[in-house]
Amino acid sequence: MGIEGFEDAGVYRIADGVAIVQTVDFFTPIVNDPYSFGQIAATNSLSDIYAMGATPKTALNIVCFSVKKYGAQVLKEILRGGIDKIREAGVSLLGGHSVEDEEIKYGLCVTGVVHPDRILRNYGAWEGDWLILTKPLGTGILNTGIKADMLGEKSIANLIKIMATLNRDAAHVMLSVRVHAATDVTGFGLIGHLKEMIKDDIGVELFSKDIPYFEEAPELASFGILPGGLYRNRDFYSEHVTGKKEGFIFDVIFDPQTSGGLLFALHQDDLSQFDKNAHSAGVEYWVIGRFVKEPKGKIILR
Ligand code: CO
Ligand code: CO
């Protein structure tokens, strides 16, 4: 695929009509409950395969853990969380590798398959395409809120539920219509991944009032509970943003996401068909913008 597109995963054609798609992702715990952490880490690792329009088939565990420090039960729970998500995705777990490490890390190496003509790249949107997002933003802000002990049990449970939701159904609906570019929102935040989508070829208008976020996020942000990555993303990408650069929206669009939703450019004539298919699959989504011819390479906040 080349490196110019910063694609979500690597692709290798193994025969006419079939390519394998490979990705690896692992990270340190973001929630206290080891089972939930395992679920989230596995969901996050699988996401890049879905973002390429591919179907995940096999996975390998990657584990950094100290049994002496944390005990075997914690490791068992992390792996159980991962396996439950791997199963739900219809993926076969083939094995894995572990390293003795004082700092816990867990994730997966995932292989998927796709027809070479059906690969979804992360750029190539057309003028007039709708910009669709399938999960709310703010996981970085809420995860920072957990560390500051400022998030209630109910909010944590809802956050975990969304981070542990596979992008499988969303990808299925996405593939039922004409899509010109797709990715998933992770560490670079909405704007970082959106900039990769437009490059300097096309522009995009963002509908500020339609951008979804966790309801706890604005209050946390008002207390300055923002992850370091948000500031770094804003420093790096804000030069590409024009329009109303203020308020909470100008925070959350830079928030680094863990196991974020799919972000894609939908053919302008396919929105009603997409809506029908999303409803019958029970997939939530938001139309958060529209691609425009000019100004090229810019994201306009409306
Ligand atoms: Co990705
Ligand atoms: Co990744």
Tell me whether domains 10-118 and 130-301 share a fold.
no
- DSSP 8-state symbol, 198: H
3-state secondary structure of 253: coil
Distance 67 CA to ligand 1 centre (A): 31
For the structural domain made of 10-118, what CATH number should be given?
Answer: 3.30.1330.10
Distance 164 CA to ligand 1 centre (A): 16
- Closest by CA to 37, choosing from 92, 106, 98, 87, is 106
pTM score: 0.96
Domain ranges of the chain: 10-118, 130-301
Question: Which ligand has the nearest atom to the CA of 6?
Answer: 1
Fold exhibited by the domain 130-301: Phosphoribosyl-aminoimidazole Synthetase; Chain A, domain 2 (3.90.650)
pLDDT tens, the chain, 302 aa long? 666 667 889 999 999 999 999 999 999 999 999 999 999 999 999 999 999 999 999 999 999 999 999 999 999 999 999 999 999 999 999 999 999 999 999 999 999 999 999 999 999 999 999 999 999 999 999 999 999 999 999 999 999 999 999 999 999 999 999 999 999 999 999 999 999 999 999 999 999 999 999 999 999 999 999 999 999 999 999 999 999 899 999 999 999 999 999 999 999 999 999 999 999 999 999 999 999 999 999 999 99
Task: Tell me how far apart the alpha carbons of residues 202 and 299 are, in angstroms, rounded to a whole number.
Answer: 9
Q: What is the CA radius of gyration of the chain?
A: 19
Distance 258 CA to ligand 2 centre (A): 10
Query: What is residue 7's predicted lDDT score, i.e. its pLDDT?
Result: 82
For the beta carbon of residue 173, count every other beta carbon within 10 angstroms. Answer: 23
Query: What is residue 277's predicted lDDT score, i.e. its pLDDT?
Result: 98
Distance 202 CA to ligand 1 centre (A): 21
Distance 45 CA to ligand 2 centre (A): 7
Distance 95 CA to ligand 2 centre (A): 20
